[in-house]
Amino acid sequence: MTYSIDFRRKALLIKPREYLSVETTAERFGVGKMSVFRWSKQIEAQRK
């Protein structure tokens, strides 16, 4: 399943703001842990 960019950004903005782990973020948004991990890596790669 493909998630919208807005949904991914929301999850990745809330993660550090609330000091959430990858696992907790995944549970909160109903996605897999690897999805959250990949999203964060893709954003880091785009910033460089």
Count of domains forming the chain: 1
CB atoms < 10 A from the CB of 39, how many?
21
Query: Which pLDDT score, from 0 to 100, does residue 1 have?
Result: 74
Q: Which two tokens stand for residue 34?
A: 């690897």
10: containing domain: 5-47
Query: Which pLDDT score, from 0 to 100, does residue 2 have?
Result: 86
Whole-structure pTM value:
0.81
Judge contact between 31 and 3, C-beta under 8 A: yes
Q: How far is CA 23 from CA 9, 28, 30, 48, in A?
A: 16, 9, 10, 25
- Host H or E run for residue 46: helix 33-47
From first to last of its 48 residues, what are the pLDDT tens digits of the chain? 789 989 999 999 999 999 999 999 999 999 999 999 999 888 666 665
Q: What is the number of H-type helices and E-type strands within the chain?
A: 3, 0
